[in-house]
Amino acid sequence: MADKKLVMLVDTKRCIGCNSCAVACKIENNLPKNIWWNRIMTVGGDNLDSPEGEYPNLKMHNITVACQHCENPACVKVCPVGATYKDPETGVVRQDYDKCIGCRMCMSACPYTGVRNFNWEEPAYHLDFAVGDADVAPHEKHTVEKCTFCWHRLAKGLQPACVEVCSARARHFGDANDPDSAVSAILRTRSHEQLLPDEGTDPNVYFLV
Amino acid sequence: MTDQTTPKSGLTRRSFLKAAGATTVATAAGAIGFGGLAIAEDYAPGQPDEETIFCGVCRGNCSGTCKLNLHVRDNKIVKTSKRPFNSFPDGSIDRICLRGLSHPYNIYGPNRVQYPMKRVGERGSGEWERISWEEAIKYITDEWKRIQAEYGEQAIAYTRGSGNMGAISGVASPMYNVFFNKINASMIKIARDQANTRGINRVVGNLGDWVLNDPSDFKNAKTLFVWGANITDAQLHDWHHVADAQDAGTKLVVIDPIMTQLAARADKWVPVKPATDAALALSMMYVMVDEDAVNKPFLRDHTCAPFLVRSDTGKFLRMSDLGVEPEVIEVAAGQVSAASSENKGAKVNAAKTVTKVLDHPAVLDADGTVKSLVEATDPQLSGTYDFNGVPCSTAYDLLVEDIMQYPPEKAQDICDVPAETIVELAHLALDGPCIHRLGWGSNSYTNGVHAAHANITMAALTGQIGYSGAGTGVGDFKACWGINAVVKGMTAAKYPMISALALPEIMRTDKWKGEDYPIRSLYVYAGNPVSNQVNTNEYVNDVIGNMDLYVVADYCFTDTTKYADIVLPAAHWFEQQDLVVISATQCFIHSEKAIDPLYESKSDFEILKLLAAGMGYPDLIDLAEDEYMSQVVDTPSLTALGITYEKIKENEDMYWYPEKPWIPWQNASFRTESGRMEFYVENPTVQFDVGQTFDEERERLPRYINPTEAYEGSPTWDKYKLILLSERPRFRVHSMWSDNAYLRELDPEPTIKMNPADAEARGIADGDYVEVYNDRGHCVAKAVYNNGIRPGCMVYPKSWQSHQHKAGCWSELLTSEYDPVGVNESYFDNLVEVRVWNEE
């Protein structure tokens, strides 16, 4: 077992689906055009901000969807070259661009459709210089990429960008193996859900409900 | 449209959700903490360039004015991140949003205006030639001289939007008045969000255009009522205060025709019929009066309730009527607000004191005699008095008579809110303390003044105002008090301000209030009126169409620059320093210059200097920015609070009130003539004098009246049956960020949100392109089904630029009718119809 169990908590009572976390991720990681590692979905109707039910008997909340950094990641099992792997120290599911051969087995294996992105072409950008943090790995053609839990920020003792920017204070991040951590305290007191629990992947992203 | 795709593709939402079950996960105990994490950098990022971080302020009109770190590498702003406020060491105000995060594209994207340009094609064709700054300034000022010689000095006009909250290059700046007053130009004032102001301030007095308890005080309320405020879109920065309050046990009641993200989180959502908030509030007051639950001591001591009102004049019976000579005293003139609602030259040579006439209202005392308010021991709330044959009633009795017209059984038909819900709301509002936050919803119809008047009157009945957890007002835009507007070079304006709503008629007739008043040139800064003002076709044809010279200064191309004869490249916020003095944070904030102005752009301050020189006043603006900023804030009243310009720069931000959280109207001290809440308006006045007349009697008390257009049975009801509402979406701030490519990936094109029932009745499928139309214009957008839209209404996320629509634009559809008292743009007071659009 990893030394640490880094987890992300998203409070669905506070999340208003504002997309600030998605944009923070996009800029921080200098994501190419049309690549989003973190997305927001309205739980309700089929369109953005559309509730479920018939007016006025309605309900709506949001979920954010990115790599779930599973305890039991389906992607790791299928990667033929070890490019996607679980970091033994933190439990973060990582992606080594240099090893990735672009076979996209991980994308088919992952039940969380869309959290892994594949650069079919040479990555293209909206601006002609790199935005965001200088320490993020360059994006590569024919390579799978996804949320890193902002690995480059963790290394500096910072929280992932999406956590820092959440003006709703809906996101929490920390070590669930540490009983004294804030995330452990929240998980002890708040009801929470994981996405697709029946898949057996045991995500490290929890939705507080 | 662009080739951008929505990031939703590939996601199958339902597949996630149906399988998401509640689990309880046992976390392994005994592991080490997170603090000592050492992660190896096992991919080589290379040697990062040196990064310098500046303190910037994001300062559009969401009112958030968030402090940002501006990360500069290689002379480019590569990232913006949130920067803590020193005035709030608890971190409660640290924040950023998707717009604040995406500045790099606004700065470096292709939409920047790079150099001065002169129109060569038809107006609106977008055909220009590049010219030099010298040529541009010479052309503009030569034309201005010609126009002034030919049509008079007033024929040059200037106006703005709300695109910069700065005190030097933004809307709070005195510098525009310094220059334009010097050349005796006409100031055109935008007419936005003033109905709330008029309705509330005529009862409590002026403490600013929009004031309410600081959002951090929400948690001290038992119930927070949010009336027509889409906080979760339009004031994202305030949402956590609401969530914090809910965590602390505050009940959230949201009164809104639309199921917003905020409404979805409410303990009670009241889906009210649009434009009927006044009837709802009046009916809640009916319940309070009917149950004899009003706060009588507060009414007696802090409101005009006991004042006797003469039935012949509608005025208060005053002691002078009873032969007591009024007393005349001198009182200190009020402080100056940074609010931009007046020409800052108005303070030139302003007297330090003003004369006040003390002619006390007469009241009925407990012994049945009529006395001066200041002498009565127990002024009565009810009663009549015969003044030489003129019957007089108390203001409270008149209010009650008005309120009694709105029993819940009647109001439910007006508001489409069940009578029992109205009773429940009244009980919640009585069980204080409560805060009522009013938004821009009810303010956006021609009956909006009365909705606000009704709401603030309810506070008079409950007495819940002016203390922690209790208040009624409009959040959350605050302008500081105590600044100096009379900076070096300021002169008084020669001509009065003109409301933007009056401009079309002036341009059509060359007359203002019956006198000749031609205007031939308009200078626009920090604004995009073509996109953000009502009735675009009228504005383009009658206003711009009758101008000899339309000049627009902006940092990016907009619907308004499209019609300009001369476009001037303004600098982006982060390419200049400025001082923010209008802020929801209630802090003065200094914004540093992080990079030089790109291309040939110049700050608005520099542009003004060039224009002044071109008009023959090269020395008019001859101090440095720092010196003007110092002149604005280095005043005795701010120094007394320990605030100086140097200290603001040093601390980056400084809170401008003596106490935290700020709560207006403490100790029930109001800024009316009597110092009380005057829910009976003795002398109704208009928000803006455009030479109009109005029904004084109607304005004395809050009433429910129909809006102009947005109701069943209105004059255009036979042709149009859908009320068109807008939302200020989180993807833009008005029209700012509309061309930001990052945000456009998430929100790629104009949409119109429809209830599926309304759509299906018109043969419109989810995702169809549709044409929304009325007599004023049309607009094409993609229809999206949304069950949260009230049937009979449609909602459009506002301020897409016309090039982003297949045809038309939203503002074409909006009425330019206005209430003569509020003199306010009524964005929601529209009926439209919609049909499938089959053209390309």
**B746: chain A residues, CB-CB within 8 Å:** 19, 22-23
Token couple for A3? 């030394």
Selected for mutation to probe chain B from A4, A7, A49 (highest B CB count within 10 Å) is A49
pLDDT average, residue stretch B305-326: 97
Chain B residue with minimal CA distance to A97? Answer: B43
- Restricting to B residues 48-77, those with a Cβ less than 8 Å away from any Cβ of A are 48-49, 51, 73-74, 76
> pLDDT tens digits for A162-179?
999 999 999 999 999 999
| CATH number of the domain that residue B540 is part of | 3.40.50.740
Residues of A in contact with B17 (CB under 8 A): 43, 63
- The answer to whether the peptide bond before residue B476 is cis (omega within 30 degrees of 0) is yes
| Distance separating alpha carbons of residues B366 and B376, to the nearest angstrom | 8
Of B82, B108, B244, the CB nearest to A127: B108
Identify the residue with better confidence: B22 or B497: B497
Single out the residue in B655, B676, B702 at which a domain terminates: B655
Beta-strand pair A205-208/A6-11: parallel
pLDDT digits (tens, 9 = 90+) for B485-524: 999 999 999 999 999 999 999 999 999 999 999 999 999 9
Which whole number is the average pLDDT over B28-57?
Answer: 54
Q: Would the CB atoms of A155 and B98 count as touching at under 8 Å?
A: no
Average pLDDT over residues B409-416: 98
Helix, strand, coil content of chain B in percent (nearest 5): 30, 20, 50
Provide the shortest C-alpha distance from residue A22 to chain B (in Å).
8
Q: Could you tell me the pLDDT band of residue A2, with boundaries at 50, 70 and 90?
A: low
Q: Do B28 and A22 touch (CB under 8 A)?
A: no
β-pair type (B769-774, B831-836): antiparallel
Q: Are B34 and A174 inside 8 Å of each other by CB?
A: yes
Is residue B5 predicted with pLDDT exceeding 60? Answer: no
**Residue B224 lies inside a defined structural domain of this protein:** no
pLDDT digit string, tens, across residues B357-367: 999 999 999 99
Q: Is A83 left (phi over 0), alpha (psi -120 to 50) or beta?
A: alpha
**B536: alpha, beta or left? (left if phi > 0; alpha if psi -120 to 50):** alpha
Kindly report the nearest CA distance between residue A80 and chain B, in angstroms. Answer: 20
- Smallest CA–CA distance, residue B22 to chain A, in Å, is 5
Is the CB of residue B767 less than 8 Å from the CB of residue B736? no
pLDDT at position B231, please?
96
Ramachandran bin of B388, using left for φ above 0, alpha for ψ from -120 to 50, beta for the remaining angles? left
B188, B438 Cβ separation under 8 angstroms: no
Residue B31 pLDDT > 70, yes or no?
no
Residues 753-812 of B with CB under 8 A from A: 753, 755, 766, 784-791
C-alpha–C-alpha distance, residues A39 and B671, integer Å:
49
DSSP state string for B201-229:
HHHHB-S-SS--S-GGGGGG-SEEEEES-
CA neighbours closer than 13 Å in the CB half-sphere of residue B537: 14
C-alpha B675/C-alpha B358 separation (Å) is 12
Q: Is the CB of residue B196 less than 8 Å from the CB of residue B452?
A: yes
N- to C-terminal Cα distance for chain A? 28
In angstroms, what CA-CA distances link B187 with B183, B412, B519, B816?
11, 44, 11, 19
pLDDT in tens, B564-586: 999 999 999 999 999 999 999 99
Residue of A nearest to B46 (CA): A135
**Is B163 inside any structural domain?**
yes
Does the structure show a pLDDT above 90 at B102?
yes
Supply the pLDDT for residue B292. Answer: 98
Instruction: Report the distance separating Cα A86 and Cα A106, nearest Å.
Output: 13
What's the pLDDT tens digit per position in B539-567?
A: 999 999 999 999 999 999 999 999 999 99
CATH fold of A6-208, please? Alpha-Beta Plaits (3.30.70)
The residue-averaged pLDDT of B275-287 equals 98
Minimal Cβ distance to B45: which of A33, A136, A180: A136
Q: Tell me the mean pLDDT in the region B389-401.
A: 98
CB contact under 8 A, B10 and A90: no
Half-sphere exposure for B460 (CA within 13 Å, toward CB): 32
Q: Do B20 and A52 touch (CB under 8 A)?
A: no
Q: Which two tokens stand for residue B366?
A: 């407990």
Q: Check B78 against A60: CB less than 8 A apart.
A: no
Q: Is B474 helix (H, G, I), strand (E, B) or coil?
A: strand
Residue B482 falls in which region: left (phi positive, over 0), alpha (psi -120 to 50) or beta: left
Distance of residue A51 Cα from the nearest chain B Cα, in angstroms: 6
Domain for residue B336, yes or no?
A: no
CA B383 – CA B307 distance, rounded (Å)? 10
Residue B41 pLDDT > 50: no
Q: CB of B70 within 8 A of CB of B54?
A: yes
φ, ψ (nearest 5 deg) of residue B401: -60, -40
Axis-axis angle for helices B448-462, B277-290 (nearest 10): 20
Q: pTM, whole model, 2 decimals? A: 0.94
What does the alpha-carbon distance between residue B468 and residue B214 come to, in Å, rounded to a whole number? 10
B352, pLDDT greater than 80: yes
- Domain membership of residue B451 (yes or no) is no
CA distance A79 to chain B (A): 19
Which of B623, B655, B687 lies at the terminal end of a domain, its last residue? Answer: B655
Are the beta carbons of A133 and A173 closer than 8 angstroms? no
> What was the ipTM of the complex prediction?
0.97
**Residue B837 contacts by C-beta under 8 Å, 6 or more apart in sequence?**
B768, B769, B770, B771, B780, B806, B807
Q: Which ranges of B8-164 does DSSP label H, i.e. alpha helix?
A: 13-17, 98-101, 103-108, 133-151
Q: What is the largest CA-CA distance in chain B?
A: 95
- Which of B242, B745, B787 to mutate to probe the A interface, most A CBs <10 Å? B787
Contacts of B27 in chain A (CB under 8 A): 5, 176-177, 179, 184, 187
pLDDT at B346: 85
Short-list B750, B574, B562, CA closest to B106? B574
CATH number at residue B814: 2.40.40.20
How far does A194 lie from chain B, in Å, by closest CA? Answer: 6
For A195, the closest chain B residue by CA position comes to B20
Decide if B373 contacts B362 (C-beta within 8 A): yes
- Measured distance CA(A185)–CA(A208) in Å, rounded: 12
Q: How far is CA B106 from CA A112, A127, B77, B329, in A?
A: 33, 10, 11, 55
Q: Per the domain annotation, does B471 fall within a domain?
A: no
- B600, B632, B655: which is the final residue of a domain? B655
Comparing CB atoms, the residue among A126, A131, A191 nearest residue B22 is A191
Q: In which band, very low, low, confident or very high, does the pLDDT at B280 lie, cut at 50, 70 and 90?
A: very high
pLDDT greater than 70 at residue B11: no
- Beta-carbon separation of A193 and B21 below 8 A: yes
CB contact under 8 Å between A127 and B25, yes or no, is no
Chain B positions touching A167 (Cβ under 8 A) are: 95-97, 236-237, 239-240
Q: Mean pLDDT, to the nearest integer, of B198-205? A: 97
Residue B339 pLDDT exceeds 80: no
Q: How large is the average pLDDT for residues B278-292?
A: 98
d(CA B429, CA B432): 6
Q: How confident is the model at residue B351 (pLDDT cuts 50, 70, 90)?
A: confident
Mean pLDDT of all residues in B622-650: 96
What pLDDT is attached to residue B23?
34
Give the whole-angstrom CA distance, residue B265 versus residue B784.
22
What distance in Å separates residue B788's CA from the closest CA in chain A?
6
As beta bridge partners, residue B587 has B655
pLDDT attached to residue B19:
34
Expressed in angstroms, the distance from the first to the final Cα of chain B is 11
Check: CB of residue B257 under 8 Å from CB of residue A58. no
3-state DSSP of B759-777: HHHCCCCCCCEEEEEECCE
> Residues of B with CB below 8 A from A58's CB?
259, 264, 787-788
- Per-residue pLDDT of A36-90, as tens digits, reads 999 999 998 889 999 999 999 999 999 999 999 999 999 999 999 999 999 999 9
Contacts of A124 in chain B (CB under 8 A): none
Largest CA distance in chain A: 53
Q: Is residue B279 part of a domain?
A: no
> How much is the mean pLDDT over chain B?
93
Instruction: Give the structural domain span for B635.
Output: 117-190+483-655
pLDDT per position as a tens digit, B435-461: 999 999 999 999 999 999 999 999 999
CA distance B486 to B483: 9
Query: What's the angle, vertex CA B785, arms to CA A16 and CA B801, rounded to 5?
Result: 75
Pick from B622, B590, B589: which is nearest to B605 by CA?
A: B622
- Tell me whether the omega of the peptide bond preceding residue B661 falls within 30 degrees of 0, making it cis: yes
Under 8 Å CB pairs connecting chains A and B tally to 274
Q: What is the mean pLDDT of chain A?
A: 96
Task: Verify that B630 and B733 share a domain, yes or no.
Answer: no
Is residue A114 a contact partner of residue A65, using CB atoms and an 8 Å limit? yes
Sort out which chain A residues have CB atoms less than 8 A from B261's CB and list them. Answer: 16-17, 49, 60, 62
Judge whether B139 and B574 are in contact, CB under 8 Å.
Answer: no
- Residue B20's pLDDT is 39
Q: B129-164: per-residue pLDDT in tens?
A: 999 999 999 999 999 999 999 999 999 999 999 999
Give the pLDDT confidence score for residue A1 in this predicted structure: 52
Mean pLDDT over B230-235 rounds to 95
Give yes or no: residues B608 and B728 share one domain. Answer: no
Give the closest of B13, B45, B743 to A137, CB-based: B45
Is the bond preceding residue A56 a cis peptide, omega within 30 degrees?
yes
- In a domain, residue B311? The reply is no
pLDDT at B307 over 60: yes
Asked if A165 lies within 8 A of B101 by C-beta distance, the reply is: yes
Give pLDDT, residue B49: 59
CB of B633 closer than 8 Å to CB of B641: no
Contact B21/A98, CB-based, under 8 Å? no
Distance from CA of A105 to the nearest CA of B (A): 16
Distance of alpha carbon B772 from alpha carbon B794, whole angstroms: 10
Say which residue the tokens 């609602």 belong to.
B341
Min Cα distance A81 → chain B (Å) is: 17
Q: Residue B402: inside a domain, yes or no?
A: no
- List the single residue in A with minimal CA-CA distance to B739: A126
Q: Which residues of B609-644 are buried (b: 16+ CB within 10 A; e: fewer)?
A: bbbbebbebeebbeeebeebbbbbbbbeebeeeebb
Looking at per-residue pLDDT, the higher value among B46 and B834 belongs to B834
In sequence order, which ranges of B553-622 are alpha helices (DSSP H)? 604-614
Which has more confidence, B352 or B721? B721
Number of domains in chain B: 2
